[in-house]
Amino acid sequence: MATSKHGGTKRSGAGGSISAPTAKAIPAVAGQGPLRLRRFVANPGFIAFTHALIAINAVALGVEALPSASESFESLLEGLFAVSTAWFVVEIALRMLAHGKPLGGFFRDGWNTFDTAVVVLSLLPLAGGVAIVARLARLLRLLRLVSGNDLLRSFVERRLPAGLHLLAATFLLALSIYAFALAGFHLAGGMLAESAAWTDLPSALRSTLGWSVIVAAPALPAEGPAGTAWLVALGVTHLAWLVLTVRGLFGAGAKP
């Protein structure tokens, strides 16, 4: 049996030769783990399922902050969050196993470290059982929208032309406001919040926008250190976004 120059196998026999084209192989991720496992985690279906689950979680977190919807879908939401937590742990574990030893190489990729940190931090409330902490930890999953989206990853890495860079910057700003609005909603007490500015998602979005531009800013979502920490985190996030936006447009990584 010989191999043809086109990559297929050539079988000779009485009836002549027949070339059988080989199937296009899925590239394996880098590492020393089993080849079959490396191909599995590099499979577009595996990656797409994880990204879809992250996106569904982003929507579900918003539904949870809508009083009329959250009561109707409470059981469904809790089930989704539980399944998602389990899958994200399995996904990171499979990626580590596919990479193989030493794991230092796995964590040399900043995005691998980022994804692992998000998953680990989202698991911490399971040990404490504090509802408010668990709900805030779920919001960390929104961060994986950045690592799982080529446009946003390229924005952080400054690999986009100016137009796409501004588009990604706008999307990332909207995502951060969405995340802080949800955090404020839960810090204020959710649907039981005493302040009307934080009783549902639309109100929380308006309040977060108010604090973002310091125009008609309402009361903080919580009194004391919790509210101050929310405000400081919001300010730091906006500052980091501004730095990334400006550096991408005018820095060494900017493209025409």
124-152 pLDDT, tens digit per residue, is 765 554 667 778 888 888 989 998 889 99
Q: Which residue has the higher pLDDT, 12 or 227?
A: 227
- pLDDT recorded at residue 41: 92
**Local confidence band at 16 (pLDDT 50, 70, 90 cut-offs):** very low
Q: What is the pLDDT of residues 68-125, one digit of tens each?
A: 888 888 889 989 999 999 999 999 999 999 988 888 889 999 899 999 998 888 887 6
- Give pairs for 221-226: CB < 8 Å, separation 24+: 221/183, 221/184, 221/185, 221/187, 221/188, 221/193, 221/195, 222/187, 222/188, 226/187
Number of Cβ within 10 Å of residue 150's Cβ equals 10
pTM exceeds 0.85, yes or no: no
Q: What is the pLDDT of residues 160-208, one digit of tens each?
A: 999 999 999 999 999 999 999 999 999 998 877 888 899 999 999 999 9
Query: Does residue 24 surpass a pLDDT of 70?
Result: no
Q: Fold for 27-148, please state it.
A: Four Helix Bundle (Hemerythrin (Met), subunit A) (1.20.120)
Query: Does residue 255 surpass a pLDDT of 60?
Result: no
- pLDDT recorded at residue 207: 95
